């Protein structure tokens, strides 16, 4: 196993468990404890973890974007359920925006059997996923490649998005708060989603249940910009009442 691959696995584990222990990682990956300590040193330098005695804990103040190949392995069952629900909201010949989230890749994979769609996306992974589809119009936004995220962003991306009008936009987030609105990890990503919202007839927030009651670094929009929420399970009573007060349709998996 390459060192970079091992560090990504450690990073995935620490986001799930909030902490890791050097001795346990050493046994799991069959490497020396010194090698694991070097891995943790590297992750600490990158701002992902804080080293502690015998291990490391998640750096909760970190605003860095996780590598795409780490994020795509987090909560895949929920993303699959959401993709199924999203596919029911898309009709033949629709024009849609798909953002550069990992959930979006599940959506792209799920809708590939449809006969014709126009898809505009800033996701390199979506472009690769849909590269073998025939009869569709697939448009890349262009822009700057954001390292590690498989996404395009910047002024060119936003300019391209504003030059179109689509039927539906499917957007993810890192945090959803009744008080603070919908947020993401950085300004570039938030700005891209703002441009999608401004150019869509109907806006869907696509977010698994772990995103609720969280606030991240960069503001995307208030909930009055959202027409529907698609999530992996029924929201609790407080959120259900909140969505009802905002006239937001809620679509969720009965599991």
pLDDT at 60: 67
- How far is Cα of residue 42 from the mean position of the Cα atoms in its chain? 24
pLDDT at 127: 96
pLDDT band at 69 (very low <50, low <70, confident <90, very high): low
Whether 84 has a pLDDT exceeding 90, the answer reads: yes
Domain ranges for the chain, please list them: 3-60, 70-252
Beta bridge partners of 145: 152
CB atoms < 10 A from the CB of 241, how many?
A: 12
Whether 61 has a pLDDT exceeding 80, the answer reads: no
Q: Are 12 and 70 in contact (CB under 8 A)?
A: yes
- How far is Cα of residue 230 from the mean position of the Cα atoms in its chain? 13
pLDDT at 78: 86
Token pair belonging to 68: 């795409």
Whether 146 has a pLDDT exceeding 90, the answer reads: no
pLDDT at 151: 92
CATH value of 70-252 in 3.40.50.1360, 3.80.30.20, 1.20.1250.20, 3.40.605.10:
3.40.50.1360
Which phi and psi angles does 57 have, rounded to 5°? -125, 160
Whether 72 has a pLDDT exceeding 60, the answer reads: no
pLDDT at 207: 94
Residue-wise pLDDT tens digits, 103-119: 999 999 999 999 999 99
Strands of 77-190 (E only): list them.
95-98, 118-121, 137-140, 144-146, 151-153, 166-171, 175-177, 181-184
Degrees (nearest 5) of the Cα angle 191, 84, 224? 40
Whether 73 has a pLDDT exceeding 90, the answer reads: no
pLDDT at 10: 87
Choose the weakest-confidence range: 10-19, 31-40, 175-184, 226-235. 10-19
Give the CATH fold of the 3-60 domain: Arc Repressor Mutant, subunit A (1.10.10)
Cα–Cα distance for residue pair 54/23, rounded to 1 Å:
8
Q: Are 39 and 10 in contact (CB under 8 A)?
A: yes
Cα–Cα distance for residue pair 248/206, rounded to 1 Å:
13
Token pair belonging to 127: 């472009």
Whether 245 has a pLDDT exceeding 60, the answer reads: yes
pLDDT at 212: 95
Which phi and psi angles does 169 have, rounded to 5°? -120, 135
Cα–Cα distance for residue pair 72/108, rounded to 1 Å:
13
Global confidence as pTM? 0.79
Half-sphere exposure of 108 (CA within 13 A, CB side): 28
Which phi and psi angles does 62 have, rounded to 5°? -65, 130
In this predicted model, which residue has the larger pLDDT, 105 or 60? 105
Mean pLDDT of 68-95: 83
Residue-wise pLDDT tens digits, 187-204: 999 999 999 999 999 999
Dihedral angle over CA of 102, 43, 182, 197, nearest 10: -50
Whether 246 has a pLDDT exceeding 70, the answer reads: yes
Residue-wise pLDDT tens digits, 6-28: 888 888 788 777 789 999 999 99
**pLDDT, mean over the chain:** 90
Q: Are 97 and 196 in contact (CB under 8 A)?
A: yes
pLDDT above 70: percentage of residues in the chain? 93
Cα–Cα distance for residue pair 165/174, rounded to 1 Å:
25
């Amino acid at each position: 196993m390459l060192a970079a691959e091992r560090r990504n696995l450690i990073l995935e584990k620490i986001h799930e468990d909030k902490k890791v222990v050097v001795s346990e990682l050493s046994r799991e990956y069959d490497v020396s404890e010194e090698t694991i300590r070097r891995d943790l040193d590297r992750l600490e330098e990158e701002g992902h973890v804080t080293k502690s005695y015998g291990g490391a804990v998640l750096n909760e103040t970190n605003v860095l974007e996780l590598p795409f190949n780490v994020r795509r392995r987090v909560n895949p069952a929920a993303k699959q359920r959401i993709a199924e629900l999203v596919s029911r909201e898309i009709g033949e010949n629709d024009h849609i925006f798909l953002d550069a989230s990992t959930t979006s890749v599940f959506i792209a994979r799920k809708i590939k059997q449809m006969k014709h769609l126009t898809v505009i996306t800033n996701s390199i992974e979506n472009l690769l996923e849909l590269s073998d589809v025939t009869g569709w119009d697939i448009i890349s936004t262009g822009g700057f490649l954001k390292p590690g995220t498989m996404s395009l962003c910047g002024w060119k991306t936003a300019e391209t998005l504003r030059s179109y009008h689509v039927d539906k936009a499917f957007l993810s987030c890192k945090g959803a708060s009744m008080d603070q609105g919908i947020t993401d990890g950085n300004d570039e990503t938030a700005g891209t989603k703002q441009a999608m919202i401004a150019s869509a007839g109907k806006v869907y927030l696509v977010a698994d249940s772990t995103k609720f009651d969280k606030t991240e670094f960069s503001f995307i929009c208030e909930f009055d910009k959202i027409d529907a929420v698609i999530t992996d399970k029924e929201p609790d009573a407080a959120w259900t009442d909140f969505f009802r007060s905002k006239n937001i349709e809620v679509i969720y998996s009965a599991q």
